[in-house]
Amino acid sequence: MSQENLQRAFYAVLGLLTLGALGLSLFAAGAVGLAFGLFAVMTLGGGLICIWERSVVRSAFALMSTFTGVAGLFVLLESDFLAMAQLLIYVGGILALILFGVMLTPPDMEERRLSRVLPGLALVGAGVTWVSMQVAATANWAVRSAPLDGKADGAISSAERIGVGFLAADQYVVAFELAAIVLTVALVAAVYIARRKRADLEPEPTGGGN
Amino acid sequence: MGLGAYIAVSAALFGLGIVAIITRRNVIYILMGIEMILNAANINFVAFNRFGDNGLDGRMFAVFTIILAAAEAAVALAIVLNVFYLFNSIKPSEADLLRE
């Protein structure tokens, strides 16, 4: 099968799977189910396209769909602050970093080989099905269906609770400060590592260059 | 939607990240796979926090995962750039300086 036909077949199957998943979730749980199905399809479809596509740039943009879908799932899980942070940091920051990496390194078009991708996908599909069946059959968690914040806690939003948790002395303030230190050290180190050494830039190194 | 649906999505995303890491021989794809795996873990944290009875811990874990993912992406891309300067290639199998 030629490359274009293969590509067409992949996207046709993906579209059919999308329609099936949306219909199934709409049938199972109504409007909330439709939203969940949409975000789940965005998440998993983005991941599938990321694995399938041969061009790194297309994979990176497919990853944007994945991150946005995860943000939508966070909204459905009543974590609005996390959804916002996901959009800001993943879609705005990490994806831009990955695209910088793509642009600063050579393209590699002969990367994907079907003989490697398809068995991996089959194995993952089987594994996920098995895990899901195990979860459905055996797990017995104490599930609470009432919303976590807002109505139950006197109209305090999730963002406010997380902010208070960061700064209250008896909650997460130590982890907050540690995260600040880690970020500072990591970003300064990244700048230092990524900087080209002076010896690489000068045409004739005259000694003393770093 | 119940807890199981979120766990299924998270497991599938984790598997896709593993596939991305295993089948590609390009560091950028490995980074993308790691980001997918971290996102899958985040979905699980938030879902268990939403459906369980454990205060705010899961969401805090998710926040710190996002923070560490940002730091990891920055450092990893700096390392990728250096590997490219050194080896003229970003395939992890070709960075084998210690073997010689």
Determine the length of chain A: 210
The span from the CA of A110 to the CA of B88, in Å, is 17
How many Å apart are CA B64 and CA A179, to the nearest integer? 7
Total of domains in chain A: 1
**Helical axes B57-87 vs A158-167, angle rounded to 10°:** 80
* B21 inside 8 A of chain A by CB: no
Residue A156: inside a domain, yes or no? no
Asked if B12 is an interface residue toward chain A (Cβ–Cβ < 8 A), one would say yes
Task: List chain B domain ranges.
Answer: 3-89
Whether pLDDT at A66 is above 90 = yes
ipTM for the complex? 0.90
Q: What is the pLDDT of residues A155-167, one digit of tens each?
A: 456 777 777 777 7
Question: pLDDT tens across B53-97, in order?
Answer: 767 788 888 989 999 999 999 998 888 888 888 887 777 777 777
Write out chain A residues lying below 8 Å of B82, CB-based. 193-194
CATH of domain B3-89: 1.10.287.3510
What's the CA gap between A198 and A157, in Å, rounded? 51
Q: Is residue A99 part of a domain?
A: yes
- Cross-chain Cβ contact B71/A187 below 8 Å: yes
* Residues within 8 A of A (CB atoms), B 70-99 only: 70-75, 77-82, 84-85, 89-91
Instruction: Give the global pTM.
Output: 0.84
Q: Is the residue at A21 inside a domain?
A: yes
CATH code of A41's domain: 1.20.120.1200
Those of residues 165-194 in A touching chain B at CB distance below 8 A are 165, 171-172, 175, 179, 182-183, 186-187, 189-191, 193-194
**Confidence band, pLDDT 50/70/90 cuts, at residue A209:** very low
Q: Provide the chain A residues 12-41 that lie in CB contact (below 8 A) with chain B.
A: 25, 29, 32-33, 36, 40
**Amino acid letter at B82?**
N
Q: What DSSP line would sit under B49-82, residue for residue?
A: HHHSS-TTHHHHHHHHHHHHHHHHHHHHHHHHHH
pLDDT band at A150 (very low <50, low <70, confident <90, very high): very low
Q: How far apart are CA A43 and CA B12, in angstroms?
A: 10
Nearest to A111 among B3, B18, B24 (CB): B24
Would residue A201 count as lying in a domain?
no
Q: Are B49 and B58 in contact (CB under 8 A)?
A: yes
Cβ contacts of A86 on chain B, cutoff 8 Å: 42, 66
Position A29 in a domain: yes
Q: Is residue B17 classed exposed, middle or buried when 0-12, 13-18 and 19+ CB atoms within 10 A define those classes? A: buried
**Residue contact B73–A98, C-beta within 8 A:** yes
Contact state of A97 with B36 under an 8 Å Cβ cutoff: no
Residue A24 included in any domain:
yes
Q: Is residue A176 part of a domain?
A: no
Owning domain of residue A48: 3-112
Residue B98 CA to chain centroid, in angstroms?
26
